[in-house]
Structure 1
Amino acid sequence: MSAYNSGIIARVLGNAPLKAGLPPGTPIHVGERKTERVNITVLHYDRHGCREETTEKAEQCRFYHDREGVSWINVDGLHHVDIIEKVSACFKLHPLTVEDICNTTQRPKLDIFDDYLFLVARTQTYDQARGALASDQISIILGKNFLLTFQESPTPIFAGVRHRINSGKGKIRTMGPDYLAYALLDAVVDSYFQTLENLGEEIETLEEEVLSAPRRENAEKIHRLKREMILLRKSVWPMREILNSLLRHDETELIDPAINIYLKDLYDHTIQVIDTVETYRDITAGLLDIYLGSLSNRMNEAIKVLTMFATIFIPLTFIAGVYGMNFDPEASPWNMPELGWTFGYPLVLALMLAVAGGMLYYFKRKGWL
């Protein structure tokens, strides 16, 4: 098994076998440890102002459970399960929710509880150094006046949302936590466009290489891109289901109908991302056919050249064989007068050149060259 395939399996499974045999609701970290320490950031705001602070004590989060305004509590790092449990206890999250937060192999989904919504989304950023996608799971808990986010590692995609809150730009400080959840999901979907742009550039470069000078490395890149497209598709497609459920919001009152217009716009962006992913998947699948066709064409060209030389040399070999039989013209009853000619040797060479030239002219007239 190649190192790349092993990396794919590690990204999908993590240390999932450790959960075998444990009762439901048992939190255990499944996945890769992507940060050294767990950071807790609290951003509390309303229409009049905002306050941002960091804390190392998870128990302090309980003060933001019923506080007026909107409280956004972000946790970076999921490997310390006890911290995740303490933060979750402050907001009375279900044990199954806590278990899913710690399991970073979750499929993007939406779970509706009595007093909160649980959303799972995945970011897909293109790592140009490795030439592969880097995926992170983001868990979002939407409550009446709070929003919790749990991330595997600090991600810059929410920097714009944080800046809008701190600067008071837009209407985010006048809206509730449901609008904040929309803003975070919008940032995730926007990050897909940048990822697709980077993948599109690589696909375009690879297509030019395959058409001009196909190499064995091209096949490896094509297979890698096909796997990355599968992973990206698994992250994007469920987002459509999540947004559909949020638009209906029949089973919860945590979504204000006033943000439906924003959710519909985000849904349209998600459909655009899905269409682009499907287009790139088709192009990537076609690249393998182009690669194999280019190799076949190069082989056909080589065979055509070799066949042409072989065909030209067949009559020349026959002529050389006839005049190379070394019969003695004095002893043989079948006299070969050409063997005694003064200019016999240059005449035979001239005959060979004439035959070769005539065949080349004939091949050119037929369009075989």
Structure 2
Amino acid sequence: MTKKRTNKYKKHIKQSPGSIVYTGENPTEKLFINAFDYGPNFINELELKSVEDAFNFKQTESVSWININGLNHIKDIEKVGKHYNLHPLILADIANTSQRPKIDVYDDYIFVVLKMLYYDENENIKIEQISLVLGANYVLTFQEIEGDVFDNVRERLRLENGRIRTLGADYLLYALIDAIVDHYYIVSETMGNKIEDLEDLLFNGEIKDDLSQQVLSLKKEVLKVRRSIFPIREIISRIEKNEHTLINPNSIQYYGDIYDHVIQLSDSIDIYREMIWSLMDMYMTTISNKMNEVMKVLTIMASIFIPLTFIAGIYGMNFDNIPELHYKYSYYILWVVMVLIFLGMIFYFKKKKWL
């Protein structure tokens, strides 16, 4: 049964520019907000009951990270956007889960869209959009569902002597982007292992019924990962080249480290893409070889029985003047001749290395 495809863009039809429309697949997700407010000598980790509780962090001298889970809560996203003076187009991009990774630079804040990648327990790739807003002393993150790849960042924030506690919001943005990119390595490694396993199956001639589906599925995964990773080069490049007051010049070198990682990942994805095409060619070649083997056996069998059928046909005709027709050993002589022809052809085929 063919899987029904959904069109996320239909939700934008007849909507005015800047309208906030949730395009994800979790319309019943609960709103969950947690926050880290910290400085060199203190840290407060809070679970907020409403978006209004997040408004006070904008005016503090400490650095704050406010993480909002539940993009289906449009009204709450609008409240956050209004308080933090976010452009309506930014809010629309936050709710649009099919948004391409990008960066928008404004006077008071920087907006970044990225994709979090991970494999579930069945090794199916999952892609979740995350939007980040960098302000003077805060970072806002918007996620579709609860659960992310930032546990390591949270642990570093809880450490009293951690570097992240002594630096500003721009370093926090770097740490969050770096956590996302680092998780790409896990996805890349898993994908590489899956490709190598399929290569081993093909080299060993183990053609399973669903092998073509596995190759096609891997091809789609590589393309999804490629679309998620490649735009990050442009994002980091713009951060490095843009002399924005929100980015401390001392933090630029950290972003350069992310750029190096993205280049390395991009090269790996390109290699995997070529390997997938090679797998498809190898699969078709293997199938063709197996078909040739079958045709070879059938051709040899037909070649053996053609002269035997010819002899049997001659002696099956109803004529009185056929030699040895009434000879009592004719039947046995015929069998001896046919067996000798059979063995002679088998010997000839083996000598020619066709068998």
TM-score by length of 1: 0.90
| Equivalent position of 1:315 in the other structure | 307
Question: How many Å apart are 1:355 and its aligned residue?
Answer: 1.3
Does the 8 A contact of 1:61 with 1:90 survive in 2? no
Does the 8 A contact of 1:44 with 1:70 survive in 2? yes
| Equivalent position of 1:139 in the other structure | 131
1:152-301 matches, cutoff 5 A: 152-168=144-160, 170-211=162-203, 212-250=205-243, 252-301=244-293
| Equivalent position of 1:354 in the other structure | 340
2:351 corresponds to 1:368: no
| Equivalent position of 2:2 in the other structure | 2
Question: How many Å apart are 1:97 and its aligned residue?
Answer: 1.3
Q: Partner letter of residue 124 of structure 1?
A: L
Question: How many Å apart are 1:267 and its aligned residue?
Answer: 0.8
Does the 8 A contact of 1:210 with 1:218 survive in 2? no
| Equivalent position of 2:69 in the other structure | 76
Q: How many residues align?
A: 354
Q: Which runs of 5+ in 1 are unaligned?
A: none
Q: Distance in 2 between matches of 1:216 and 1:289?
A: 17
Identity %: 41
Q: Distance in 2 between matches of 1:343 and 1:259?
A: 103
Does the 8 A contact of 2:29 with 2:145 survive in 1? no
Q: Partner letter of residue 151 of structure 1?
A: Q
Q: Alpha-carbon deviations, 1:35-58, whole Å to 9, x = none?
A: 621111110111112110011221
Match of 2:230, SS state, is helix
Q: Partner letter of residue 37 of structure 1?
A: K
Q: Partner letter of residue 107 of structure 2?
A: D
- Which deviates more, 131-140 or 26-35? 26-35
Q: Alpha-carbon deviations, 1:254-313, whole Å to 9, x = none?
A: 111212222111111111111111111222222222222222111111111011011011
Does the 8 A contact of 1:75 with 1:150 survive in 2? yes
C-alpha spacing 1:304/1:94, structure 2 compared with 1 (3 Å): same
Q: Partner letter of residue 291 of structure 2?
A: M
TM-score by length of 2: 0.93
Q: Distance in 2 between matches of 1:156 and 1:27?
A: 23
| Equivalent position of 2:79 in the other structure | 86
| Equivalent position of 1:98 in the other structure | 91
Does the 8 A contact of 1:127 with 1:134 survive in 2? yes
Does the 8 A contact of 1:179 with 1:259 survive in 2? yes
Q: Partner letter of residue 137 of structure 1?
A: Q
Q: Distance in 1 between matches of 2:22 and 2:313?
A: 82
Q: Partner letter of residue 219 of structure 1?
A: S
| Equivalent position of 1:46 in the other structure | 39
Q: Partner letter of residue 2 of structure 1?
A: T
Q: Distance in 1 between matches of 2:311 and 2:19?
A: 89
Question: How many Å apart are 1:155 and its aligned residue?
Answer: 2.4
- Which deviates more, 256-265 or 69-78? 256-265
Q: Alpha-carbon deviations, 1:219-239, whole Å to 9, x = none?
A: 222222222222211111111
Q: Alpha-carbon deviations, 1:124-159, whole Å to 9, x = none?
A: 212342x53211110100011111100111223101
**Aligned-residue CA RMSD in angstroms?**
2.0
Q: Distance in 2 between matches of 1:78 and 1:60?
A: 18
Question: How many Å apart are 1:327 and its aligned residue?
Answer: 3.8
Match of 1:227, SS state, is helix
Question: How many Å apart are 1:183 and its aligned residue?
Answer: 0.8
Question: How many Å apart are 1:190 and its aligned residue?
Answer: 1.3
Does the 8 A contact of 1:78 with 1:151 survive in 2? yes
Q: Partner letter of residue 39 of structure 1?
A: F
- Which deviates more, 131-140 or 180-189? 131-140
Match of 1:156, SS state, is coil
| Deviating 4+ runs (over 6 angstroms) | none
Q: Alpha-carbon deviations, 1:51-73, whole Å to 9, x = none?
A: 10011221222211121121000
Q: Distance in 2 between matches of 1:103 and 1:324?
A: 81
